[in-house]
Structure formats: structure tokens, C-alpha cells
Structure 1
Amino acid sequence: MVPEINWIAVVVATISTMVVGSIWYTPKVFGNYWMKVAKVKPGEAKNAVLPILVTLVVSFISAWVLAGATYLSFDFYGGSYLSNALLTAVILWGGFTAARFITHDAFEGRPVGLTVLNCVHELVTFMVMGMIIGLFAI
């Protein structure tokens, strides 16, 4: 079986990751704290074009995988497509994103606050993507 994927939902979910990140890491939200614990100095910003392009590509892959996994979950369990999308987003976030962040940050000796900040950001990002994918039900 090949999952049916709503590509418009995947593109909108991809764009949503940039919106969530832009809000999350703005100085008035968590940006100042992030710069402090990540030891990033204001004004020392490097060229952001490549990181933004990489973010778009990996966000597209994440949204695509989430859309496919949501379809499989819905096909198997039935019920609400939106509920399946949100639950699938939490499971994929916890099993892959959060688990890997925690492992790498522990070995790299990063501050716990930075790990928590980034993990929760990814949870919010995945939930927004799941909501978009769930609302664009096939």
C-alpha cells in the first residue's frame, strides 16, 4: 500500500515550521534565552541562507513522513484523521526527534535548558504540522 499524501498539506506544513521557528526564537519569546544558553552572540550571525535552505528541505521531509505515517495510522486505526495526525506527530517527535536531541545533547554536554527549549520547540513544530496535515484530510 502506498500512502495517499496531500502535497498541499505537506507544503503548508513545511512553511509552518519556518513560522513557528521565527516566533519561537524571536528575542521577545525565547530568542534571548536561546542565545545565552547556546552561547550565540548577537551581531555574530553568519550567512543564514544555507541554514534556511537546509531547514526547508528537512522540514519538507519531516512533513512528508508525517503525512505518510498519518495516512497509515488512519488506515489502520480509523477514527478521526486529525486525531491520528496529532497522535502520530507526538509519537514521531518522542521516538525520533526528542530521543535524538536528548542523546546528542547529553554527549555534547549541552545545558539541560537548551535541550528542553529545543525539544519543546520541535514538539510545537510537529503538532502544528500534524494539525495542518490532519485538517487537510484527504
Structure 2
Amino acid sequence: MEYFNPVAMFVAAVSAMVVGFIWYNPKTFGNAWMQASGMTDEKIKSGNMAKIFGLSFLFSFLLSIALPGIVIHQMGVMSLVGGDSSVALPSYEALLVDYGDAFRTFKHGAFHGVLTGVFIALPIIGINALFERKSAKYIFINAGYWIVTLAVMGAIICGWK
């Protein structure tokens, strides 16, 4: 079984950018985010957008590489043999025959993506924001983005076989 789908990972990384364009649009949370973060139009216009979007895509792709281990249960089974199925006992193959596609759905991937957002992204953003003296609004706008984004990314990575 192959659990690393490079096309799905690329699409998942692109999805993070798409969700960001929608989430931080002035018609959704963009204006509230600018106010909560202290961002101004001048600061936005002074940034190197090619660098910002290029690195954002790179970081999103790195997330998509890490997500299979979180959203695909069979990755845990694979870790039992160190990722090398050639050294596995026959019971490993039997397990994958029985459960190779179990929970490999878009819905299940989205579920694990949401859990990742709530239990990993939210605390990280919250801790940083507390020390940066940012508001609860700032925390919830940014954490909300990551919860939605990780749900979409998890759905793509888990469901796309």
C-alpha cells in the first residue's frame, strides 16, 4: 500500500493557499484580522509578496508531508516495521489486507485535520499570541483558519488514494 500521494500533498498545499485567500479576504475575516494583528495597508503593500506566498506554499507543503502520519491510520501500522515492509512478518501483510483502506475517507481525514487544528495549531497560536499580547479575536481568527485548513488538507490527504 502506498500512503504518500505526492499529487494529493501538492493539492493539499494549494488548498491551504485557497482557504487563506477566502479566510483573510476583507469580506470574511480580513478586516478583523488586520485590526487584531495591528496590520495596515501600508505594511501589506511593503511586503515582498512573491517571497511571502512562495514560503507560505513551501510551509504548507511541509505540513502536507507531515499529515499522512496524523490522518491515515495505516501509517501507524507501517511505523511498526520502520517503514520497510520487506522486513515485516506475514501478519503485517494480513493486517493490511484486512484493514488497508479502513477509515481512508475524506470525512475521516477532515475529522483528524480538525483535531490537529484544535489540539496542535490552537495551543501554539494561543501561546504565541499571549506572549505577543494579542487579543482573543486574533487567536480565534488565526486558529480558525488553521482548523479549517487542516480539515481540508486532512480530507485531501486521507481520502485521495
Shorter-normalised TM-score: what interval?
A: 0.7 to 0.9
Q: What residue number does 1:125 align with?
A: 149
Q: Does structure 1 conserve the Cα–Cα contact (< 8 Å) formed by 2:13 and 2:153?
A: yes
Identity over aligned residues, as a percent? 26
Q: State the 1:87 CA deviation.
A: 3.2
Instruction: Give the 3-state SS of the residue equivalent to 2:134 in structure 1.
Output: coil
* Whole-angstrom CA distance in 2 between matches of 1:133 and 1:18: 16
Counterpart CA distance in 2 for 1:92 and 1:17 is 15
> 1:96 corresponds to which residue?
120
Q: Which deviates more, 38-47 or 20-29? A: 38-47
Distance in 1 separating the partners of 2:138 and 2:52 = 19
Kept after mapping to 2: 8 A contact 1:4/1:68: no
Does structure 1 residue 81 correspond to structure 2 residue 104? yes
**Aligned-partner SS, 2:42:** coil
Please show how residues 5-44 of structure 1 align to structure 2 within 5 Å: 5-44=4-43
Indicate conservation of the 8 Å contact 2:70/2:112, yes or no. Answer: yes
* C-alpha separation in 2, matches of 1:61 and 1:75: 17
Structure 1: segments with no counterpart, 5+ residues: none
Equivalence for 2:51: 50
Aligned residue in 1 for 2:136: 112
Q: Distance in 1 between matches of 2:157 and 2:6?
A: 9
Calculate the TM-score normalised by the size of structure 2: 0.75
Mapped partners of 1:55, 1:76: distance in 2: 28
Work out the CA distance in 1 between the residues paired with 2:117 and 2:10.
19
In 2, are the aligned partners of 1:74 and 1:84 still within 8 Å (CA)? Answer: no
Q: Which digits, 9 at most, give the CA deviation of each residue in 1:79-131, with x for residues without a partner?
A: 32124422332332233211111111111110110101000100000011112
Q: Which residue identity is paired with 1:15?
A: V
Q: Name segments (4+ residues, structure 1) moved above 4 Å.
A: 75-78
TM-score of the superposed pair, with normalisation by structure 1? 0.86
Give 3-state SS (helix, strand or coil) of 2:67's partner. helix
Given that 1:17 and 1:59 are in contact with CA atoms closer than 8 Å, whether structure 2 keeps it comes out as yes
Structure 1 window deviating more from structure 2 (103-112 vs 87-96): it is: 87-96
Shift of residue 69 of structure 1?
2.8
Q: 1:105 touches 1:115 (CA, 8 Å); kept in 2?
A: yes
User: What SS does the aligned partner of 1:20 have?
Assistant: helix
